[in-house]
Amino acid sequence: MQTLQGRTCVFSGASGGDGASAVRALCQGGMNVVMMTHQPEQARDLIAEIEAGGYPGKCTAVQDGSAQTPPVAEEEVYRRIFEEYGAIDAIISNTGGDGFEDSLDTVDTDTLLSEVGHLLGGSYTMLKCALPYLRQSRHPRVIFMTTVEGVRGGKLESFTNAVAKGAVLSLTKNCAARLASEKITVNCIQKGVITRLINRGAAQNPAFKDTSTFLPYIPMGRLGTPEDLAQAICFLASEETSYITGTVLDLSGGLSLV
């Protein structure tokens, strides 16, 4: 059983990529989802779909403070969410890299630090801004995302993404230890290869990695789906997971075993 009814989460990386299925599943379970998004058109389409579906959970979208006009402090964004819903019970940081081909030979230090700032800094900012409200929740949950190579190393994944996701793993472990006494659980999902919508952006962007090349290394013989990720997120966001913290939930089809 997964109790999501009446809970509220702030979800980054929600409206595109592999996150939309999780938004649907959370709202179907009765959870209110506030999408922190830079993709307003995709967010509007997803909100309309959820409203048309009559799901018990409400779905809305906001931009982070720096993207608003005029800009506002990130803390103010979370204060407004709390005032609207009366609670922030979970944060889900699903922001990820774009899977560009890169290597030690092509990545400079500034590019690497930029990716770490984006993934590690973004996850930490969410936690820091939400913490006053998580402390008021009966069942507070924090869910971060790492990857197989972020946990164990390797050379199949984008180098910058793997290094940044390794930092997110460290963030998970340290925050879990520091917040356990406050009954705030902090866990992360170790993604393998999850199919996702990709916004290829400008033509000058480097080539994307071909995810089909991972198949020979996945014991289950298939790529992961957004629905696989959705169920993992619903599990960790539920009220029932109160005794699970500092854990890495392996969602890789066995890729982490080889």
State pLDDT tens for residues 145-154: 999 999 999 8
Say how far apart CA 74 and CA 90 lie, in whole Å: 16
Where b means 16+ CB within 10 Å and e means fewer, 57-87 reads: bbbebbbbbeeeeeebebeebbbebbeebeb
At 63-121, the pLDDT tens digits run 888 778 888 899 999 999 999 999 999 999 998 765 566 778 889 999 999 999 999 99
Question: What 3-state DSSP class applies to 143?
Answer: strand
Confidence class for position 46, pLDDT limits 50, 70, 90:
very high
Amino acid 98: pLDDT: 57
Q: Report residue 7 as tokens.
A: 């809970």
Contact call for residues 147 and 37 (beta carbons, < 8 A): no
Position 60 pLDDT exceeds 60: yes
- Looking at every residue in the chain, the average pLDDT score rounds to 91
Residue with tokens 């379970």: 29
pLDDT at 240 over 50: yes
Question: For residue 180, what are the contacts with CB-CB under 8 A and spacing of at least 6?
Answer: 245, 246
pTM over 0.85: yes
Of 80, 221, 222, 107, residue with least CA distance to 164: 107
pLDDT at 202: 42
Residue 190 has pLDDT above 90, yes or no: yes
Please indicate whether residue 98 or residue 256 has the higher confidence score (pLDDT): 256
